[in-house]
Amino acid sequence: MTSSHNSPCNRAHSPAQNRGRKQAKPAEACPHAARCGGCAYQGIAYKEQLDKKQEYEQKLLSSYGSVSRIIGMDKPYHYRNKVHAAFGRDRYNNIICGSYEESSHRIVDNTACLIEDTRAKAIIEVIRRLAGDFGLKIYDERNGTGLLRHVLIRTGHKSGQILVILVMASTFFPSKKNFIRELIRECPEITSVVININNRRTSMILGDRQYTEYGSGYIEDTLCGITYRISPKSFYQVNAVQTELLYTKAIEFARLTGSETVIDAYSGIGTIGMTVAGHVRKVISVETNTDAVKDARRNAKANNISNIDIYADDAGRFMRRMADNNETCDVIFMDPPRAGSDKVFLNSILKLMPSKVIYISCCPETLARDLAVLARRAYRVTAIQPVDMFPWTSGIETIVCLERR
* Nearest CA-CA partner of 153 in 143, 145, 162, 142: 162
Whether the CB-CB separation of 121 and 113 falls below 8 Å is answered with: yes
| pLDDT at res. 377 | 81
Using alpha carbons, list the distances in angstroms from residue 307 to 14, 217, 273, 283, 335. 42, 28, 10, 6, 20
Name the strand (E) or helix (H) holding 248: helix 240-254
Distance CA 274, CA 281 (A): 12
Give the distance, in angstroms, between the CA of residue 274 and the centroid of all CA atoms in the same chain.
18
Give the distance, in angstroms, between the CA of residue 4 and the centroid of all CA atoms in the same chain.
7
Q: Catalytic: 362?
A: yes
Whether the CB-CB separation of 138 and 148 falls below 8 Å is answered with: yes
| pLDDT at res. 34 | 78
| pLDDT at res. 23 | 42
Catalytic residue among 36, 224, 362, 401: 362
Those residues whose C-beta lies under 8 Å from the C-beta of residue 302, and which sit 6 or more positions away, are 227, 229
Mean of pLDDT values over 157-175: 97
Distance CA 68, CA 383 (A): 8
Residues 296-307: tens digit of each pLDDT: 999 999 999 999
Q: Is the pLDDT assigned to residue 111 strictly greater than 80?
A: yes
DSSP state of 3: P
Q: Is the pLDDT assigned to residue 94 strictly greater than 80?
A: yes
H-type alpha helices, 13-68: 33-36, 46-61
Residue 105: which pLDDT band, with cuts at 50, 70 and 90? Answer: confident
375-395 core/surface letters (b: 16 or more CB in 10 A; e: else): beeebebebbbbbbbbbbbbb
Residues 248-265: tens digit of each pLDDT: 999 999 999 999 999 999
Residues 112-155: tens digit of each pLDDT: 899 999 999 999 999 999 999 999 999 998 899 999 999 999 99
Name the strand (E) or helix (H) holding 212: strand 209-214
Where does residue 186 rank: exposed (0-12), middle (13-18), buried (19+ CB within 10 A)?
Answer: middle
In this structure, the number of other CB atoms found within 10 A of the CB of residue 250 comes to: 23
Comparing 36 with 147, the larger pLDDT belongs to 147
Q: Which domains does the chain have, with CATH numbers?
A: 60-73+239-404 (3.40.50.150), 82-219 (2.40.50.1070)
Distance CA 366, CA 95 (A): 39
Q: Is the pLDDT assigned to residue 27 strictly greater than 50?
A: no
